[in-house]
Chains A and B, each alone.
Chain A
Amino acid sequence: MADGYSKEIDFTFLSEEAAQNYFADLNIELLRGTHIQKESYYLFSLLQDKERELRNYYNSLYGLELIRDRHNNETFYYLDILDGKGKLSRQDRHRELSPMNIITGIMLLKMYYDKYFELQKIVTWQDIEHHVMESEYSDSFKKVFFDEIREFYSDAEWENVRKRFLKCVREFEALGWVSKISSSEHEIHFVIRESISRFAKLYEKELQHFDDFVVSYLNQS
């Protein structure tokens, strides 16, 4: 079919050995919103081998679209919500990105492109601190995270900000947009993965037509 979906619904692939071994994990990860990249070897292989069957499966049973995307020569898969959100339309089965997610997402996207020539886009807490204190948008960052613009902030104030970023990094890790390098639970040290481009895709319209977006947003508010 032109849309890539088969009319006949055939789920016999689920009885095959690879599906028997890994489908349950893959299904849970995808429905949680995770983006699967080649590092998740077995899940990624199953997606590659049974891509057509899995697309039919999610489309017919969940009303969701299994997307294969590519960025910087890296392929990744994820489930996208079609209009009406399919079987995930219930309030507790999807979530909106929080303001902290949006700020962090755009910041990481910027860092990703700043490190355009670097093989691994590694980010540490010092990089985030640098953005807050030294970047050209430093004053805006300070206002949003500390409520006032000062040259110094106390350790307790910094710890609050660090915790907000840490929580957000953990959420992004669950989505597969970043992967942690540090084994410590409390340290911010991770790699931005190619799937961060999904965040850019979510805000594709706004990013490509930024001026129009700003005009329409300011008219609304």
Chain B
Amino acid sequence: MVIFLLHQKIKDREIEEPFNYGDFRQVVKEVADWSPGGIPRSETLLKNFLNNFIERPADQKNGYKLTEYALKFIAIVDHKLNNPYRTFPLRKSFEKYTTFQATEIQDIVELERWFEQGFNNISRQNIIDHLEALKDVVSQSVKELGQILQQENIDIVQIVSEFAEIFTGLNEKTEEIRDTLRLGNRLERELQLVVDHFYAILDTSSSTEPKADAALYKKVSKDYESAQKIQWEVNTFFMVVGGKIGQLREKIVFASNKLNDLQHNFHYQSSYKLNIKRMLHFVLTESRFTRDGPELSACFPRKSIPYESFKITMVNHMEEFFPKKVMVTTTLIDKEYQESENAKIEKDIARQERIMELVSYYKELLALDKQMDFTEKFYHILEQDKDVEIALNVSYELLLFAHHSKQYKVTIDQNLLKNSKDKKIYSWQTDIVKR
């Protein structure tokens, strides 16, 4: 409502666009005056509307305007409420757009022109719009009938006259629907004649021996196919229209039958309906609120209904009801594997001990001699222990020690290989020297 009123006020030049926050707050207040409840918070409302319905113009920080989306939304609702077809008889729409004489069509171009320009572009949408408007009118009339019935203390003569007024309108609509369906049928018949006309041309062309002109045959064949396609499209459209009209007709007929039923037992119906209302009020006043839902006094009559429940309770994992058995399995010892693993472990331990022993020994030696030909020691360990792992680990430990020590320095001559050309492992000439 706020958006609609803003739009109306802008249109009537009561407020300018872009409008300011004061205009917005005033509109919210006016809308709140019409509807029950208090005045909603304008800031919250504006925040909700921003982006989708209201936007800030780029050049004005304190101004607001309606978005394109809001304008489209207003246009759609306006069309629905003030559909021009509501007052224009459906029959006339049909007469206007379905007037079609088969004899007038001689050429496929004429048929295609009627279909594309007359039918497809104009009639189709107009008829659909018209049906939508008619649907609203019928639904509204049916609702109004119900509302008349709901009124209490209304004079019977007045009820009858109000019913009669609405039913006159509904009867006119029924008549229109009948005529419209007749016009639709006529159009379908005329189209069939046109299709037959093109088939006859094709038939004549194919029976001529020898075929005079292959290109001509191809053309008439294509014309026939086009005519068939148009006929199919029109028939499909009318099937949809027929379905929609059928629904409307059903609603009108139902309402009309209900009125006939009502004529016979109006007094009984109205007193029964009144009692339903009184009963609803009575039940509500006798009920009381609880957190688990409404409660009624035990004296209130409770009615029983059959309620035998049928269900299978599926238990998916039966074994979970019982503790799982834990089985202890004694495995046999694989002696051969055990010995080989033990040998590996012992070898590893012995290697670690040897590495530690050699590292300590060479550190002491370095302390005594002040310098050491490290490459020579490396090859010596390699030859002595026959284990490259030991030689590499001792070297690594010693180099690390010398590198981090302030007393020693490591010198490496990358070009000179001393006594290593005949070895399996090559090494640069590396010395550790006291600073």
Contacts and interface: CB of A to CB of B under 8 A. Distances in A.
Interface of A: 28, 30-33, 64, 79, 81, 85, 88, 92-100, 102-103, 106-107, 109-110, 113-119, 137, 140-141, 143-147, 151-152, 164, 175, 200, 202-203, 206-208, 210, 214, 217, 220-221
With most chain A CB atoms within 10 A of its CB, the pick from B254, B304, B310 is B304
Contacts of B287: 99, 103, 144
B88 to A, nearest CB: 25
A24 B287 CA distance: 40
Contact of A117 (B142, B281, B303, B305): B142
B306 A145 contact: no
B322 interface: no
Nearest to A139: B284
B306 A33 contact: yes
B276 A110 contact: yes
Contact of B258 (A32, A103, A117): A117
Interface size of B as a range? 35 or more
Contacts of A106: 276, 279-280, 283
Nearest to B281: A137
B284 A115 contact: no
B294 A145 contact: yes
Contacts of A88: 306-308
A118 to B, nearest CB: 6
Interface in B272-294: 272-273, 275-289, 293-294
The main secondary structure of chain A at its interface with chain B is helix
Contacts of A95: 304-305, 307
Contacts of B280: 103, 106-107, 110, 137
A140 B281 contact: yes
A112 B142 CA distance: 14
A139 B382 CA distance: 102
Contacts of A147: 289
Nearest to B170: A117
A166 to B, nearest CB: 12
Contacts of B146: 114-118
Given A99-B294, A140-B281, A144-B287, A109 B310 contact: no
B361 interface: no
B37 interface: yes
B296 interface: yes
Q: Looking at A30, A109, A117, which has the most chain B CB atoms within 10 Å of its CB?
A: A117
A141 B300 CA distance: 18
Given A100-B293, A119-B251, A140-B281, A79 B306 contact: yes
A119 B289 contact: no
A148 B254 CA distance: 42
Interface string B122-157: 000000000000000000001101100110000000
B300 A119 contact: no
Contacts of A214: 282
B270 to A, nearest CB: 10
